Amino acid sequence: MTSAKLKLGVLISGRGSNLQALIDACAAPDFPAEIALVLSNKADAYGLERAAAAGIPTTVVSHRDFPGDKPAFEAAMDARLREAGVELVCLAGFMRILSEWFVESWRDRLINIHPSLLPSFKGLDTHARALATGVRFHGCTVHFVRPAMDDGPIVAQAAVPVLPGDDADALAGRVLESEHRLYPHAVRLIAEGRARVDGDLVRIEGGGLVLDSVVNPPF
């Protein structure tokens, strides 16, 4: 007897490499989640092609169809997600800031991947800012979403070293590889009921808070 898989809704705006990592993870028979819907706010997002190639239902809800009316835009997204039976919403490079209404209506069922070790480097251009700050370690975070930007209980983090000679692109590439391992790991923790929100924290049953440890610092 197989138990039901957690139904994911993945929200994208572009390239969709994290979506691809989730698609690949979900292809494994023992992975405890499946993608029920990929939703993009951009019709030309490459991630839509990745989803279609994998036979996953896609939908486009363009913010441009709701000029000046964010509540209507979000209500349309919300309706598509609920129609598809989505149980956990995964933001994967979704480039619109969500309102408190949307975030609260999916409270503890909405996660994001961010390319930094939060709470450092919220917002954009995280890799260039990390380099400019001189941090020796950088990485990525999967967290439950709260109304404040890039805020919320941390499910999992992966750290990577900043190496001599790194520019923002090189560092971004190293972080992105770690993102592709971290996001499926975090989804698995949630789908298996092993990641429980407790106030501002996520308690991990039987487990480490960090997935990828640091890769051999160069000294």
CA dist., res. 26 & res. 7, Å (int): 10
CA dist., res. 118 & res. 204, Å (int): 18
What are 134's strand-pairing partners? none
Kindly tell me which of 16 and 152 has the beta carbon lying closer to ligand GRF: 16
- Closest CB 2 distance from ligand GRF, rounded Å: 29
CA dist., res. 127 & res. 115, Å (int): 8
Q: Is residue 185 annotated as a catalytic residue, yes or no?
A: no
Judge contact between 202 and 153, C-beta under 8 A.
yes
Q: Which two tokens stand for residue 54?
A: 């994998």
What is the three-class DSSP state of 66?
A: coil
Kindly tell me which of 75 and 95 has the beta carbon lying closer to ligand GRF: 95
Residues found near ligand GRF in the complex (CB under 6 A): 14-19, 92-93, 113-115, 140, 176, 179
What are 201's strand-pairing partners? 198
Among 114, 127, 138, 180, the active-site one is 114
- Closest CB 175 distance from ligand GRF, rounded Å: 7
Kindly tell me which of 174 and 188 has the beta carbon lying closer to ligand GRF: 174
- State which residue has the least CB distance to ligand GRF: 93
- Closest CB 20 distance from ligand GRF, rounded Å: 8
Give the residue numbers annotated as catalytic, written as ranges: 114
